[in-house]
Amino acid sequence: MELSESVQKGFQMLADPGSFDSNAFTLLLRAAFQSLLDAQADEAVLDHPDLKHIDPVVLKYCHAAAATYILEAGKHRADKSTLSAYLEDCKFDRERTELFCTEYQNNKNSLETLLGSIGRSLPHITDVSWRLEYQIKTNQLHKMYRPAYLVTLNVQNTDSQSYPEISFSCSMEQLQDLVGKLKDASKSLERATQL
Amino acid sequence: MLLELSEEHKEHLAFLPQVDSAGQGARGRRSVGWGGGPKAEPGTQQPLNFIAVVAEFGRIAVEFLRRGANPKIYEGAARKLNVSSDTVQHGVEGLTYLLTESSKLMISELDFQDSVFVLGFSEELNKLLLQLYLDNRKEIRTILSGLAPSLPSYHNLEWRLDVQLASRSLRQQIKPAVTIKLHLNQNGDHDTKVLQTDPATLLHLVQQLEQALEEMKTNHCRRVVRNIK
């Protein structure tokens, strides 16, 4: 993990009981996790009365350092020993190291889910709807009598947050072909999971 | 159900029996049909000429439906039959209209014969027209079905299993996904869409679409199909 000097300096400040007493430390730590993971996080997450006595610049600096470190650790799936090693390097005492590791462990899953969801991917199919119709006549052709399906795939684009739909028509044979191919795919998937 | 033929339509088709007499005038010339043909015997030339000419008109009419008008053929025919190019064109269009309307409505043989009867053609010509209708009906209906409003239609599906192992924001992942390439056709244009889905959604898709297929076999659908004819 590559971390900049400012992260280290921020942590060193956090390690100092003179700048951050136990309570303030815990609050700042929780605030860092909350602002990353809580979708509705308040911008005033650092506005707790128990943090008022600390210089706001210092608060922000340490908050940023903590958040950066948490994200890097999550990205590289750091384990407890890696975390402890780094924190001890930043002069954290045992109690604070334990606290950090516990908080990290509690939030690990949400953090990994969040990081995993960032990124571009192909449009993602979320649902399908279908309609069966029986065609009897068009203005060009009477007495048709043919069943047909109209299939709509609901698709989600990760980056643009748009929800286009893909609709197409098909005959019964074509739908059977489509379903057959999708079943092949799911059988392959099942076999792959058993390897 | 009888076909309704307008006055203009009847006029255009009235050209056809005149091919008989026009054919007489052209007897001196060699060709039967356009593009040459077997050399006809003098004695049997007249009836052979007539049937062949009307059959040729029928062939042109069907080609017209498949590929559109070809003015050169009209001019060639007009010269050989000693009539104006317009008359030939109207004759072909009239014949085409007769064939498409009959095919569209899928009228029975009897109805066709009764509809054509009002034109006052000879027995032989009526039989020829009926045969032309029956021979080409299926193909004409296929051509007409392509004219209906349509959505993109399914052509093919390709799939691939992928597993995402890492991304810029998270290492050491195992994230299975199915990548799908859907081929669609619309009015002759090929379109492909590349999409992705996860295993759970894939199973859901299969289940939903299988239900869709099952619907056709239910009593309700069977009854509808049986009774609407």
Read out DSSP for B207-224?
HHHHHHHHHTTSHHHHHH
* Beta strand residue intervals within B100-228, DSSP E: 153-164, 175-186, 189-197
Q: What per-residue confidence (pLDDT) applies to B23? A: 47
Q: What is the C-alpha separation between B177 and B193, in angstroms, rounded?
A: 16
* Beta strand residue intervals within A23-113, DSSP E: none
B106 chain-A contacts, CB cut-off 8 A: 142-143
* Alpha-carbon radius of gyration of chain A: 27
Q: What is the C-alpha separation between A30 and A14, in angstroms, rounded?
A: 13
Interface contact flag, B104 A75, Cβ < 8 Å: no
Q: Where are the domains of chain B?
A: 7-23+48-147, 150-197, 201-228
Assign A145 to helix, strand or coil.
coil
- Tell me the sheet residues that pair with B195: B180
Measure the N-to-C terminal CA separation of chain A; round to a whole number of Å.
33
CA distances from A192 to B161, B163, B172, B175 (A): 9, 11, 19, 13
Distance from CA of A8 to the nearest CA of B (A): 21
pLDDT digits (tens, 9 = 90+) for A147-177: 999 999 999 887 767 778 899 999 999 999 9
pTM value?
Answer: 0.71
Contact (CB, 8 A) for B178 and B204: no
Q: Positive or negative, the Cα torsion across A11, A14, A15, A18? A: positive
pLDDT digits (tens, 9 = 90+) for A36-93: 888 777 777 777 878 888 888 888 899 999 999 999 999 999 999 999 999 988 888 8
Q: What per-residue confidence (pLDDT) applies to B198? A: 92
Q: What per-residue confidence (pLDDT) applies to B19? A: 62
Q: Which of A121, A140, A168 sits opposite B154 (nearest CB)?
A: A168
Assign B183 to helix, strand or coil.
strand
* Alpha-carbon radius of gyration of chain B: 28
Assign A76 to helix, strand or coil.
coil
A129 chain-B contacts, CB cut-off 8 A: 208
Q: Which helix (H) or strand (E) holds A130?
A: strand A124-135
- Tell me the sheet residues that pair with B215: none
A189 chain-B contacts, CB cut-off 8 A: 161, 176, 178, 199, 202
Q: What is the C-alpha separation between B12 and B78, in angstroms, rounded?
A: 14
Interface probe with A: pick from B209, B218, B225, B226, most Cβ of A within 10 Å: B209
- ipTM of predicted complex: 0.78
Give the percent of chain A with pLDDT over 90: 43
Q: Token pair of B17, please?
A: 């029996």
Assign A123 to helix, strand or coil.
coil
Q: Which of B106, B144, B157 sits opposite A178 (nearest CB)?
A: B157
Q: Is B110 on the interface with A (CB under 8 A)?
A: no
Using the predicted structure, report yes or no on whether residue A182 has a pLDDT greater than 90: yes
Q: What per-residue confidence (pLDDT) applies to B29? A: 42
Q: Token pair of A194, please?
A: 């058993």
Q: What per-residue confidence (pLDDT) applies to B43? A: 42
Q: What is the C-alpha separation between A13 and A98, in angstroms, rounded?
A: 17
Residue ranges for chain B with pLDDT beneath 50: 22-47
Give the nearest chain B residue to A177 (CA atoms): B156
